[in-house]
Structure 1
Amino acid sequence: MDIGATFLTTRWMARLPIAIFRAGFGFIFGGRLLLLEHRGRTSGESRFVVIEAADREAPDRVVVASGFGTRAQWYRNLEAEPRCGVSIGWRRRVPARAELLGTEESRRLLERYGERRPATWAVLERSIQDATGEAHPEIPMVRLHLE
């Protein structure tokens, strides 16, 4: 398993950036990463995950990818309740609404990401494959509409 897959599948490593965002230092990621606050679909409690901003379509629209597919807890929570909060760059806890994108649009956006960041995509794709055990994992995309 490569270092990226280890990071993705080791809980404390994956959660470390959450503490950085919650302490008010999310700006150090330069808008490349965001903190997504969402509601647990059964508990109703606030949940947090840090995800890469795959695309900044506009100041109020950010696209993220679910590397663990539709089984990722944050993805399933947004499916149940699309209202969420986003911290990105200097903006903190901005109310947002999640739009789960279809297979074709997700594939198109992921291809565009790969064209813009080929080296990053090559490493990320390999890490996702190692972490999921799937040769061609489905990677759904989510558009976050910030208010």
Structure 2
Amino acid sequence: MAPAAPHRPGPKRPQPPRGMKRRLARLPIALFRAGLGPLFGSRFLRLIHIGRTSGQSREVVLEVVAHDPADGSWTVASGFGPKADWYRNLRHTPQATVQFGRQYHAVTAQFPTPEEGGRIMAEYARRHPRAARALCRFMGFPVDGSGAGFGAAGEQIPFVRLETAPERSRAV
């Protein structure tokens, strides 16, 4: 079992959606399953992972914060904090599969330090300022729009780097 997340306490996290909002939030999973992953471009991926208590396969579609095609890695953030089920599942079993477009990749989850998270968020804010402001607002972080403000928020956001195992990746 992986050690506990080293993230500092932050503002009260938003709660995951329930009912109809949850159904709508999970709609992208069906689109990925139907082979329509390319509709999402390079901004989203489907993460297929193992539930920590059930041992069953679980799925979630996540926004890609950073993608490095050279080393085959994706970085995602847990918008619902370190208690999000997918995040806790990866801490328990870091091996998973990513669907990016129509490609499937075997990955292993790595957990950046809070300082690395600050750099990741500052870089994301530079590339996608409106999305970064919206993410911070959603998570309850006050940001002034400066790189320092995004960096401070990023130190409290749990990020996950999904690194490929090249010999196990496949196309569909």
Q: Which runs of 5+ in 1 are unaligned?
A: none
Aligned counterpart for 1:106 among listed residues 117, 133, 147: 117
Aligned counterpart for 1:44 among listed residues 52, 55, 77: 55
Q: Which residue of 1 aligns with 2:108?
A: 97
Q: Which residue of 2 aligns with 1:145?
A: 163
The answer to whether residue 171 in structure 2 is matched with residue 121 in structure 1 is no
Equivalent residue runs for 1:63-74 within 5 Å: 63-74=75-86
Structure 2 letter corresponding to 1:97: T
Q: Which one is further off, 110-119 or 76-85?
A: 110-119
Structure showing the higher helix proportion among its residues:
1
Structure showing the higher strand proportion among its residues:
1
Deviations 1:5-39 (A, max 9, x none): 79x62311211100001111111101210000010
The answer to whether residue 90 in structure 2 is matched with residue 83 in structure 1 is no
Structure 2 letter corresponding to 1:30: G
Q: Which residue of 1 aligns with 2:9?
A: none
Runs of 4+ in 1 over 3 A off after TM superposition: 134-137
The answer to whether residue 16 in structure 2 is matched with residue 16 in structure 1 is no
Structure 2 letter corresponding to 1:91: Q
Question: How many equivalent pairs are there?
Answer: 137
Give the match's secondary structure for 2:26. Answer: helix
Q: Which residue of 2 aligns with 1:26?
A: 37
Deviation of residue 90 (structure 1)?
2.7
Give the root-mean-square deviation of aligned CA atoms: 2.0
Q: Which runs of 5+ in 2 are unaligned?
A: 1-13, 143-152, 166-172
Question: If the length of structure 1 is used for normalisation, what is the TM-score?
Answer: 0.85
Q: Which residue of 1 aligns with 2:146?
A: none
Structure 1 letter corresponding to 2:55: G
